[in-house]
Amino acid sequence: MRKKFNNTNQKLTPIQIGDCRWTTGFWANKFKTCEENMVPYMEKLLCGDTGHALNNFKIAAGLKKGTHKGMFWHDGDFYKWIEAAVYVYAQNGDKKLLKKIDQYIEIIGKAQMEDGYLQTQIQLRPEVDRYENRKYHEMYNTGHLLITACVHYQVTGKKNFLDIAVKHADLLHTIFYPETKQYGRFGFNQTQIMGLVELFRITKDKKYLHLAERFINNRGKYEVVHHDTTKGYPIGDMVQERVALRDASEAAGHAVLALYYYAGAADVYSETGERKLLQALDRLWESVTQKKMYVTGAVGQTHYGASSNRDKIEEGFIDDFMMPNMTAYNETCANICNAMFSYRMLGIKGEAKYVDIMELVLLNSALSGIDIKGKNYFYANPLRMIHNSRVYKAHENDTESPVREPYLECFCCPPNLVRTIAKSSKWAYSLSENGLAVNLYGANKLKTKLSDGSDIQLVQKTEYPWDGDISITLKKCKSTAFDILFRIPDWATGATISVNGEKIKGIIKAGTFKKIKKTWKAGDTIRLSLPMNITLVEGHPRIEEVRNQVAVKRGPVVYCIESPDLPNDTSILDVYLSESEEMSVSYKEKFLGGVAVINSNLLLRKDKKKGLYRTLEKPTWESFPTQLVPYFAWSNRGMAEMTVFMPIVWED
């Protein structure tokens, strides 16, 4: 049973889960890996003694003896895995998978307390009271419970998980909707806002939307000092409570907490239409993407630092334009949340710039979080890795590593990434008021209904992102005129579009949607040609860490140089790029899961001098042929040095 929502506060609305399916090429291969490797492998981790997440629910349900293991937010990790599995089921219809999911839901239901409370990290700690301290991440787990239950209901029509979610949300409303100082600052790591809005959209019960608003209204309302419920965790900007959201102009604090918060606020706006809320979201989106985001779409510049108000920050945003490469944290979850925030802003404003960010993240700083086999993970995603430059694993549960790990004690990122890959086809298209927007390119089949209920079916063929030629053929559509909006990426200057072999007239501007309105018919074919030029990208002059350095980009894909492609005993810090050097592209089907590499000559400085500082002299260079690989595919050939940015040599 599937429900659709149409809203005057949105220019574009989502298609239904499962309406679009990748068929061949890049995203089809990623989904296949997700289906065959990522989801089953993660299930073994979380349902065994390694991840212990299912064991926690079994113990809370009285089905097993033991103690809670894993982080306080481990329930949420398990919910995200279930969400990923549901997306896979929506594509393949595997009844065995659905049966297994429902068995897990049954265990979760048995673990739930009579009044609706469900948090194994508290239930299995008799010394801790429910909602005693926000550091236990109860709101985070709640949000993912509600989101996953809603997705399960939308795909299957079953209410077994939804009933658990409703019971839990009703308890949440009873405790947190009243104005109380005790709980006023409790809404921390606020996935519950997104979850409550999703629950409202399904049940139409406005109390869930009002509670979501209450959590937003409470931020920045109370004095920022330690309180009984805040001890043991940083306060202030770290958790976005120093400034009320409607007054905020700078993204601050823990990047995941911030972006989940902004995404939830965007969901609330889409239902309420509150202008001041949208104005704040516009400012915050600009702050994130224009002042604090890496060339890969990654966010969260530091592991440890301070906000502009000098509050302690972990895993988050620091000063504008402060963008270190080697120590960049860029948590996989934060990168994904950046795309989630932009996806919601796309719905609200209908502008192509939001999809540009979504695609940048998906093809770079999200996919870098998992290896090509789908079984090893990065938590942090730096733009430069140097051997022996840092002592990794120096701290307990340290999340930084020079290689991807088969299991992370802090397991929030892997299921977040897997659920994103599993649902990526849902982001490929959106519904407009009288038509369809094509957001992401990749070979697929779409079978959905337009906003007026009419059927539309089409087939997209392409080798994107390795090739910019895209063909879309309509298989079924209504007989009256409607719009098709084609995203022209911000890098695609010179793009062309033809319909049935005839080139369309008018301006096709990069960074916008090109709308074509006509009376379409089955058999109509639209061809897009997006120039896939290799470009050198420099940073803003205020980004001190990349002055006189460039990154290499082709279309939406950012490239890097890895030590396996360097001469022996050469560090990536020895490598320079000449602005005059020609570059070419070749597709390697058997290399790194099938990628397009960039072939070029790079430079090594021959006259190396010793000493921390040296008198400046004109250098001499040695050229060597090599290849650059997509950033997302680095660290798949053993431990390696890597850099995205390289110093550039300008020829006379």
- The percent of residues in the chain predicted with pLDDT above 70, rounded, is 97
For residue 45, the tally of other CB atoms under 10 A from its CB is: 21
Residues 100, 134, single domain; the answer is yes
Q: What is the pLDDT of residues 66-81, one digit of tens each?
A: 999 999 999 999 999 9
Residues 228, 140, single domain; the answer is yes
Q: Is residue 460 part of a domain?
A: yes
The pLDDT-based confidence of 5 (bands split at 50, 70, 90) is: very low
Q: Is residue 555 part of a domain?
A: yes
- The last residue of one of the domains, among 529, 556, 575, is 529
State the residue range of the domain holding 462.
429-529
Residues 499, 626, single domain; the answer is no
- Give the Å distances, CA to CA, from 300 to 289, 290, 291: 11, 13, 11
Q: What is the pLDDT of residues 472-491, one digit of tens each?
A: 999 999 999 999 999 999 99
The pLDDT-based confidence of 400 (bands split at 50, 70, 90) is: confident
Residues 576, 438, single domain; the answer is no
The pLDDT-based confidence of 2 (bands split at 50, 70, 90) is: very low
Average pLDDT over residues 240-267: 98
Residues 525, 539, single domain; the answer is no
For residue 373, the tally of other CB atoms under 10 A from its CB is: 13
Residues 282, 301, single domain; the answer is yes
User: Which of the residue ranges 160-169, 386-395, 498-507, 557-566 would you say has the lowest mean pLDDT?
Assistant: 386-395
Q: What is the pLDDT of residues 555-590, one digit of tens each?
A: 999 999 999 999 998 999 999 999 999 999 999 999
Residue 397 pLDDT > 80, yes or no? Answer: no
The answer to whether the peptide bond before residue 465 is cis (omega within 30 degrees of 0) is yes
> For residue 563, which phi and psi values (nearest 5 degrees)?
-60, -30
Residue 396 pLDDT > 80, yes or no? Answer: no
Q: Would strands 302-306 and 621-630 be described as parallel, antiparallel, or unpaired?
A: unpaired
Q: Is residue 459 part of a domain?
A: yes
CA distance 254 to 317: 6
Residues 478, 452, single domain; the answer is yes
Q: What is the pLDDT of residues 102-153, one digit of tens each?
A: 999 999 999 999 999 999 999 999 999 999 999 999 999 999 999 999 999 9
CATH number assigned to the domain comprising residue 435: 2.60.40
The pLDDT-based confidence of 614 (bands split at 50, 70, 90) is: confident
- Give the Å distances, CA to CA, from 268 to 12, 102, 259: 15, 30, 14
Residues 525, 629, single domain; the answer is no
Q: Would strands 253-254 and 455-462 be described as parallel, antiparallel, or unpaired?
A: unpaired
Residue 455 pLDDT > 60, yes or no? Answer: yes
Q: Is residue 27 part of a domain?
A: no
Residues 302, 371, single domain; the answer is yes
Q: Is residue 516 part of a domain?
A: yes
The closest of 644, 485, 616 to 551, measured between CA atoms, is 644
- Give the Å distances, CA to CA, from 509 to 297, 404, 488, 494: 22, 40, 7, 8
Average pLDDT score, the chain: 95
Residue 3 pLDDT > 90, yes or no? Answer: no
The closest of 213, 259, 452 to 365, measured between CA atoms, is 259
CA distance 98 to 91: 12
Write the DSSP string, 620-633.
Answer: -EEEEEEEEEEGGG
CB 1 within 8 A of CB 418: no
The pLDDT-based confidence of 392 (bands split at 50, 70, 90) is: low
CATH number assigned to the domain comprising residue 294: 1.50.10.20
Residue 610 pLDDT > 90, yes or no? Answer: no
Paired residues of 584 in beta bridges? 599
Q: Is residue 563 part of a domain?
A: yes
Q: Is residue 411 part of a domain?
A: no
Structural domains in the chain (count):
4
Task: Give the Cα-Cα-Cα angle 369, 375, 377 (nearest 5 degrees).
Answer: 30
CA distance 118 to 57: 9
CA distance 269 to 108: 32
At 7 the pLDDT is 65
- The percent of residues in the chain predicted with pLDDT above 90, rounded, is 92
Residue 466 DSSP SS3: coil
Q: What is the pLDDT of residues 491-547, one digit of tens each?
A: 999 999 999 999 998 999 999 999 999 999 999 999 999 999 999 999 999 999 999
Residues 481, 552, single domain; the answer is no
Write the DSSP string, 176-197.
Answer: HSS--TTTTT---S-HHHHHHH
- The last residue of one of the domains, among 509, 529, 549, is 529
Average pLDDT over residues 205-210: 98
- The last residue of one of the domains, among 529, 564, 579, is 529
- Give the Å distances, CA to CA, from 405 to 70, 249, 371, 411: 16, 37, 9, 11
Residues 323, 228, single domain; the answer is no
Q: Is residue 176 part of a domain?
A: yes
Residues 510, 567, single domain; the answer is no
Q: Residue 625's Cα: distance from chain center in Å?
A: 35
CA distance 165 to 148: 9
CB 408 within 8 A of CB 53: no
